[in-house]
Amino acid sequence: AASLYRNYERDLPYCFNRKEAKDHGEGGSMVGYKPQDGDDVVIVEDVVTAGTAVRETIELFKHVANVNMKALIVSVDRMERGTKDCSTLDELREDYGIAVYPIVTVKEIISFLHNKEIDGKVYIDDEMKSKMEAYLAQYGAKA
C-alpha cells in the first residue's frame, strides 16, 4: 500500500489478520483498515503451499464484511499439488473464483539460480537441482 501511494499516488487501505484475536488495543482479529460491505479485496501472500492460510483469510473476511474477493497475489508459487490433481493455486482459482497471480514460480527460481554464483556461492548446484526436481515430481502439480 505504501509503495502504491509513493510510486503511483494510489491511496489504498490495507489490513492484515492476526494469529489470535485480541480484546485490547485495536482488538479483533484484523489490524488496520476495517473492511466494509462492497469493498474490493486483494490478498497478498508470500508463499502458498496447501492454501490453508488463504482459505482461512477468505473465511475471516466473510465474518468481517461482505467484500468482493478479487485476487490473490503470491510471491512464490511452489507449484505443489492441492487436494485435487491440480496445483493449489489452480484449486484456489476454481474454489473461490478469484484471479491468482504468482510473481515467480519455483521452476523459474531453479532455472534462474541453477549453477549461478551469487556473492561467491552457488545455492542451486546440480545436486540441489536434482533434489528439488525430485520433490516436485513427488508433490508437484501435474502440468
Q: 33-60: per-residue pLDDT in tens? A: 999 999 999 999 999 888 888 999 999 8
Dig out the grid coordinates for 80 from the structure: 505443489
Whether the predicted pLDDT of 22 surpasses 60: no
Task: Report pLDDT digits (tens) over 72-91.
Answer: 999 999 999 888 888 999 99
Q: Cβ distance 76 to 106 under 8 Å? A: yes
Is 45 a member of any domain? Answer: yes
Report the range of poorest mean pLDDT among 21-25, 73-77, 94-98. 21-25
Among residues of the chain, what percentage have pLDDT more than 70? 92
* Residues 6 or more apart whose Cβ sits within 8 Å of residue 4: 10, 11, 12
Cα–Cα distance, 19 to 3 (Å, whole number)? 25
Per the residue annotation, which of 24, 63, 121, 142 is the catalytic one?
A: 24
For residue 98, what are the domain limits? 2-17+30-104
Is 92 a member of any domain? Answer: yes
Dig out the grid coordinates for 68 from the structure: 468482493
Domain count, the chain: 1
Whether the predicted pLDDT of 129 surpasses 90: yes
Whether the predicted pLDDT of 142 surpasses 90: no
Per the residue annotation, which of 22, 34, 62, 131 is the catalytic one?
A: 22
Concerning whether 84 is annotated as a catalytic residue, the answer is no
Is 96 a member of any domain? Answer: yes
Is 98 a member of any domain? Answer: yes
Concerning whether 114 is annotated as a catalytic residue, the answer is no
Question: Strand pairing partners for 68?
Answer: 40
Following DSSP, what letter does each residue of the chain receive, concatenated?
Answer: -HHHHHHH------EEEEEEEESSTT-EEEEES---TT-EEEEEEEEESSSHHHHHHHHHHHHH---EEEEEEEEEE--BB-SSSSBHHHHHHHHH--EEEEEEEHHHHHHHHBT-EETTEESB-HHHHHHHHHHHHHHBPP-
CATH number of the domain enclosing 56: 3.40.50.2020
